[in-house]
Structure 1
Amino acid sequence: MGGTATNAETSSPSCPSTPRKYYFYYGHRAPSRNHRPVVRGGLFSSLKSLPRRPPSLPPPSSSSFDFRSWDPFPSPSGPPSPSPSQPCLSAADRRLSPLARFVLGVLRRHGRWGVPVVSELSKLRRVPPSLVAEVLRSPRPRLPPSLSTPFFLWASRQRLFRPSFACFNALAHSLHASRLPAAADQVPDLMLALGKPPSEKQLDVLVRLHSRASRPLRALHALRRFRSHFGLRPRVFLYNRVLHALVSAGHLDLALSLHRDLRADGLREDALTFTILAKGLCRAARIDPLLRLLHRMRAELCRPDLFAYTAMLKLLLAAPANTSMDGCLTLWDEMRKDGVEPDVMAYATMISGLCNFGRADKARELFDEMKKKKKFLIDRSVYGALIRGFVAEGKVDDGCSLLREMVDDGYRVDLDIYNSLIGGLCGVGRADNARKLFMIVVKEGLVPNFQTVTPLLASYADGGEMSKFFRLVDRLVELALPVIDHLSDFFTSFVGKSGREFKAVEVFESAKGKGYCSVGIYNILVESLYKIKERKQVLLLFEEMKGSKEFQPDSCTYSLVIPCFVDEGDVREACSCYNSMMQSSWTPSVSAYCSLVKGLCKIGEINAALTLVKDCLGSVTSGPMEFKYTLTILDACRSKKPEKVIQIFDEMIELGYLLEDVVYCAVIHGFCKYASSGEARKVLAVMRDRKLLTDANYIAYEEILNEHLKKMTAGLVISGLKFFGLESKLKWTANPD
């Protein structure tokens, strides 16, 4: 009944302004703040329709801020989206809570702490400690200390805020990640000031952070500070962590001192403590303290096992001290006394160490014990170490017998073993036997390398057996090996021993006649001849290269020849070589620059020398410090004060740099350009009075000063004539001399 009337009235098109009537089961309900429905009237009474709000009006603003609808990156064209998984958020930020995203967005948007940041953060009703820890531990980009520290202090002043240990740990992590370890060390003081005494966990955090960042001294400082200032007794695992950091960084004495602190606290070492200290003592090759430590370890805890002994042996063999081999033998005996039987790894470690220290006979005893008594399967590296040990001691026959034994046991010999035996046979004058081994290498399908070929070539060259020399070279050609590269390596090794330079030139002349030649071999010979001051021979080779069409000089050749020309006094030709390099866009070496600058200074060409100084510093990555000080002196001459230049000289002398010619030439040029020649003479006089400049050099520099002053004056006169258009009236007269 009521339903029919309602339908009739609502379906009438003639009454558009008639208010809409509701079904009886809708009632009059309006949502409240608490989202609880309120029904007005009974079942059929008070059926009044509420006025509908026009859609154009904005919704009423609420006084409370809804963080669920907050967008850290608001769009200027559209309303904010309440969805937390927006495409503009990084994957790390999506894992954060909405409140943490809000705080991070405020801090990152403003970039610095101030009133706007505080006003926006005041929208938070309360700041729980978990929120502070979450913000400080936020992933990258991590908050800088200029934001994280003020935020933490602001949160600590909020009402009902009780900081937790997680907050302080997060602050320490944040400061340490910002490379402020000293500030991270002050977090325990902040804890104490806020009524939260630091515990062992905070020490653990600091020690871990400093250890991972390779700051063992800070870790030690933090541990001792917690012991003295906060009265905390760390447990053994914290001592072990600091000990490991100190030993890894090489601070063994500090580690032993910390070990004494551990015992003073009434703590007992565990196996890890003994192991860390033993490794440190082995690295330093301190055998007596190591043996005392092992004795205490046996008495108080347990005896070391096989793995511990093997690790200590490896560390002792890697130690640079000469007594490490004796310590290895002593440690080997200690291992036998403890009843620990060595395995293959322990035997291999000892044999390799004995061979490296020149005790091949003792290594052979252990090898026989390992093979015949223990019946161990021997690795090929053990054979190789023992053979190299015999060859290094000149016992090539023992090495060859061990090679035959190795082949009889069914091992395949590698190229390194053959190379060591070939080098040893050539060293004792048995090149024919070495040749046979070379043929075995080729027969077995191994590819000969530099160590295989060079000893044979050197032996033939020393004996003058050039026919065998070139027969071996032809064999390399048949094997399709890079012959020129092997010959370059041969000449480099051959001239490495003094007294072989002229022999190398003879071999090169013979090889050049057979077509085995290259620019690299020329450079090797030029460099070796220049070292023994055979400059004439160097210049002959250089002229020979310039006359050749196939082997033209390269940048290395010019860099080697420029100092040779300067030493011969032919600075003009050296400058010609430099110009040739510039035309080819080549960069000279630092030694070539230094030599050419020195030669130009000797003949008084100061302007050209200073130009080369600037070109060198602009072309090479690490120029000479004398060149850098030259530019500093030129800049100091602008002040027209000789005292500043003398201070620069004192600094150079204090740092150990030589006062080269270019430095004095810079003084002459700088004062002649910016002041007068009198200031330059004052500096030279002070250097002479200090006995840093001899009388002969003082006179020479005075002549250079006068000539340079004449050149600068003549240049100014010519420039003035050109400026006034009087150059045509200038008459050049020939020198009557």
Structure 2
Amino acid sequence: MVTNADVHSDSVGAVGGGPRKYFFYGHRKPSQNRPVVRGGLFSNRKILPSSAASAAAAAVIPAIDFREWDPDNLTKPAPPPTSVPAADRRLSPLARYIIDSLRRHRRWCPAVLSDLSKLRRVPPDLVAEVLRSRPLIDPSLSTRFFHWAGKQKGFRHSFASYNALAYALNDAARPAAADQLPELMLSQGKPPSEKQLEILVRMHADAGRGLRLFHVYRKMRGKFGIMPRIYLYNRILDSLIRTGHLDLALSVYDDLRADGVKEEAITFTILAKGLCRAGRMDDLFEVLGRMRTHLCRPDVFAYTAMIKVLASEGNMDGCLRVWEELEKDGVEADVMAYSTMVSGLSKAGMVDKGCNLFQEMKRKGFIIDRAVYGSLVDGFVAERRVGDACQLLNDMVDDGYRGDLCIYNSLIGGLCAVGRVDKALKLFQIVIQEGLVPNFETVTPLLSFYADASEMSKFFHFVDQLTELKLPVMDHISNFFTIFISKGDREKKALEVFEELKAKGFSGLGIYNILIECLCSIKDWKNALTLFEEMKHSKNFQPDSVTHSLIIPCFVEEGDIRDACAYYNLIKANSWTPSLEAYCSLVKGLCKIGEINAAITLVKDCLGNVTNGPMEFKYALTVLNTCKMKNPEKVIEVLDEMIDQGYPLEDIIYCAIIYGFCKYASSGEAQKVFTIMRDRKFLTGANFIVYEELLNEHLKKATAGLVISGLKFFGLESKLRFTSDLD
């Protein structure tokens, strides 16, 4: 029989006389990863180090309380050198720690791996949180971190981490890699769903990548069997139509119908807008008929959207047909639909039809926007019906509206065009009285009328009025010359007006540049150079980069290549960039005088500084690279490609052939190319002789350059000077 005393003695013995092998007492064999329970079942757990190696590791890696990780605090174990953005504060402490490590090292390196090894485990939610913080780290590190996390033992990525990686790849300008994520998910046991398709569609739609969006849609639908819902179909259709792929959008619509998905009103509206933009009216009415049959008749918003698209494309016949369909359906047009139709008809020269709709608006009591009045005024002025335009202005004022500056500008321009400058001046005074600030569209018609009529006294009187009104007179005069010259055959008249303005003290850098450009356009090089000399001796201003770029072609056409090169060097010395015309004319001039080395150097400089250089220059460098093969047939292939593309064989192309073969092969290959081009009638006999002489001259220069370089290398320059002195 066991008494209570025995039980008590056993318990005391267990505590004082050695551990018993019972689970109640919690004595287990200690190990590195297995805690030991001391003192009973409900006691605290403690971890005992099982080896000296674990103790050494604990000494090397300091303990970090990740719950309190703050990279701004320098008292922490591994603070970053810079402060963390405020967006980082919304992240968890572990995510801030990982992002801080990636930001500090800026690349995937052992130091990053060492920081990550301090974490016992990175769960999928933490991976997704780090990848979602794309602005805080370099997007190129996202892929490395994603694959590192996937290598953890027993780790499986979640849908959130895959989606976050897709956004990171898109931000890193790697859309092709983002498109491969569905295959990666399937290989790792996570079949993609509609959500992944939606993410890829959204990314490609925002970036305007219509073809890539269609490829992703086809792959997800055909390979993975994903059937989008109607809202995603609408997004795909809208993106394809916006990027100009209407036929692909129609094929997607066929898939939508094949899948048995029920269309929405927005689906038909998207298709209708795309068909309107393409001008396919028959297909449009077919879609509208299907909409009436399967869903409902189009409402006023759908019709207004179609009219807007057709009006923006200038298809007013289509607008009228859609308007007829609107009336057949019994849809009551709103003020937006009327305004769009009136504006479109007025711009298309159908102002009478626009007036009829305008009268309907007034009968129905719509609140008419002032822009509708303005469009009708512009339409009347375009047809030189200025009287009707002025009457419409009076009607607008009687209806309680005030004219805006655009309406007054249109009327002033129309009155000046029909010779009623007196009424135009009255309108100008009304503009001043109503507190509107005249712009160049207000002033230029009056100045142009006085200049055409040679009424310079009235011209200067009007300029004095502008000065009294404290308007920017020089800017208005510069705009006047720009508009005045653009109307054609007024270059001489513009010079006469400028001479009188210059006598009154109205001259400036902008006016000189406008006139020089105008004279260059009519190839009046001498007068352009005369104006340039006046600018050089002016005390108020000096030529700028635009002036020098304009004057270089003048020197080239006059045969003064040295001065053209001098002004090019002046542009480069001031860290300016010459214009494309200056580059082309100077290269052409250098080729004509046989300065092939300088021409090739200028071609390279142009392509290095200009955003979109001429194709002739690009082909010239292609010819140079092809000459390295020492094969004339390859060069002929490049020339054939140029001819097929419609680019002329300029002098720089033949000079590139001379330069390339003399540098990388021999002059014989260049002569073979010239002979082939002459036999194929692309090079005349006279030009063949010219280029042959250029080849010989360039070969002599190249040989002389090699001789002088050899003399300098052996230190024989003094003998060369002595011999030349004797000669």
TM-score of the superposition, structure 1-length normalised? 0.77
CA distance in 2, matches of 1:183, 1:495: 54
TM-aligned CA distance change 1:75 to 1:282, over 3 Å: farther
Correspondence for 1:558: 548
CA distance in 2, matches of 1:230, 1:579: 63
Correspondence for 2:348: 357
CA contact (8 A) 1:169 1:205 kept: no
TM-aligned CA distance change 1:196 to 1:147, over 3 Å: closer
Of residues 384, 387, 390, the one that matches 1:394 is 384
Q: How does 1:368-517 map to 2 (within 5 A)?
A: 368-371=359-362, 373-517=363-507
CA contact (8 A) 1:278 1:293 kept: yes
Correspondence for 2:305: 311
CA contact (8 A) 2:36 2:47 kept: no
1:725 aligned onto 2:718: yes
CA distance in 1, matches of 2:570, 2:202: 60
Correspondence for 1:691: 681
CA deviations 1:291-310 (Å, max 9, x no partner) are 33333323332233333332
SS at match of 2:578: coil
1:335 aligned onto 2:329: no
TM-aligned CA distance change 1:218 to 1:573, over 3 Å: closer
1:61 aligned onto 2:53: no
Q: How does 1:68-467 map to 2 (within 5 A)?
A: 79-88=62-71, 111=108, 131-132=123-124, 134-136=126-128, 138=130, 139-140=132-133, 141=137, 144-146=142-144, 148=146, 151-152=149-150, 158=154, 167-168=158-159, 170-175=161-166, 177-179=168-170, 204=198, 207-208=201-202, 210-211=204-205, 214-225=208-219, 228-229=222-223, 233-318=227-312, 320=313, 322=314, 324-371=315-362, 373-467=363-457
CA shift, 1:517, in A, is 1.6
CA deviations 1:32-82 (Å, max 9, x no partner) are 75766459xxxxxxxxxxxxxxxxxx984159x99xxxxxxx998883134
CA contact (8 A) 1:652 1:659 kept: yes
CA distance in 2, matches of 1:194, 1:712: 65
1:591 aligned onto 2:574: no
CA shift, 1:490, in A, is 0.8
CA distance in 1, matches of 2:572, 2:150: 62
SS at match of 2:432: helix
CA distance in 2, matches of 1:340, 1:730: 100
CA distance in 1, matches of 2:124, 2:493: 79
Length, aligned pairs only:
664
TM-aligned CA distance change 1:380 to 1:212, over 3 Å: closer
Amino acid of the residue matched to residue 599 of structure 1? G
CA distance in 2, matches of 1:557, 1:104: 52
Of residues 680, 684, 702, the one that matches 2:692 is 702
Amino acid of the residue matched to residue 266 of structure 1? G
TM-aligned CA distance change 1:497 to 1:241, over 3 Å: closer
Q: Which structure's residues are more often helix, by fraction? A: 2
CA shift, 1:123, in A, is 7.4
Amino acid of the residue matched to residue 254 of structure 2? R
CA shift, 1:622, in A, is 4.6
TM-aligned CA distance change 1:169 to 1:219, over 3 Å: farther
CA contact (8 A) 1:93 1:101 kept: no
CA shift, 1:133, in A, is 5.3
Correspondence for 2:75: none
CA contact (8 A) 1:100 1:135 kept: no
TM-aligned CA distance change 1:244 to 1:574, over 3 Å: closer
CA shift, 1:170, in A, is 3.6
CA distance in 2, matches of 1:425, 1:112: 75
CA distance in 2, matches of 1:184, 1:554: 49
TM-aligned CA distance change 1:448 to 1:511, over 3 Å: same
CA shift, 1:397, in A, is 0.6
Q: How does 1:593-612 map to 2 (within 5 A)?
A: 593-612=583-602
CA distance in 1, matches of 2:722, 2:222: 92
- Identity between Structure 1 and Structure 2 (%): 56
Runs of at least 5 residues in structure 2 that lack an aligned partner in the other structure:
1-11, 20-24, 28-34, 72-78
CA shift, 1:493, in A, is 0.9
SS at match of 2:486: coil
Amino acid of the residue matched to residue 324 of structure 2? D
Q: How does 1:519-538 map to 2 (within 5 A)?
A: 519-538=509-528
TM-aligned CA distance change 1:207 to 1:502, over 3 Å: closer
CA shift, 1:387, in A, is 1.1
TM-aligned CA distance change 1:76 to 1:253, over 3 Å: farther
CA distance in 2, matches of 1:615, 1:214: 33
Amino acid of the residue matched to residue 171 of structure 1? Y
CA contact (8 A) 1:355 1:388 kept: yes
CA distance in 1, matches of 2:608, 2:94: 55
CA contact (8 A) 1:168 1:187 kept: no
CA distance in 2, matches of 1:530, 1:98: 68
CA contact (8 A) 2:532 2:551 kept: yes
CA contact (8 A) 1:566 1:599 kept: yes
CA distance in 2, matches of 1:547, 1:585: 23
CA contact (8 A) 1:501 1:529 kept: yes
CA distance in 1, matches of 2:587, 2:88: 60
TM-aligned CA distance change 1:671 to 1:246, over 3 Å: closer
CA deviations 1:674-717 (Å, max 9, x no partner) are 55433432332233233332110111122223333444555566
CA distance in 1, matches of 2:659, 2:495: 45
CA deviations 1:368-420 (Å, max 9, x no partner) are 2212x222222222211211121122211111001111222222211111100
Correspondence for 1:10: none
TM-score of the superposition, structure 2-length normalised? 0.78
CA distance in 1, matches of 2:433, 2:408: 13
SS at match of 2:68: coil
CA distance in 1, matches of 2:685, 2:97: 78
SS at match of 2:400: coil
Amino acid of the residue matched to residue 730 of structure 1? T
Amino acid of the residue matched to residue 391 of structure 1? V
TM-aligned CA distance change 1:730 to 1:146, over 3 Å: same
CA contact (8 A) 2:632 2:672 kept: yes
TM-aligned CA distance change 1:434 to 1:716, over 3 Å: same
CA distance in 2, matches of 1:408, 1:300: 49
Correspondence for 1:567: 557
CA contact (8 A) 1:145 1:175 kept: no
Between 1:80-89 and 1:134-143, the stretch displaced more is 134-143
CA deviations 1:293-331 (Å, max 9, x no partner) are 33332333223333333223222222x2x5x32222232
CA deviations 1:97-141 (Å, max 9, x no partner) are 9799899999x999589xx99x979977xx9xxx43553454335
TM-aligned CA distance change 1:649 to 1:136, over 3 Å: same
CA contact (8 A) 1:103 1:121 kept: no
Correspondence for 1:50: none
CA distance in 2, matches of 1:567, 1:518: 26
Amino acid of the residue matched to residue 279 of structure 1? K
Amino acid of the residue matched to residue 718 of structure 2? G
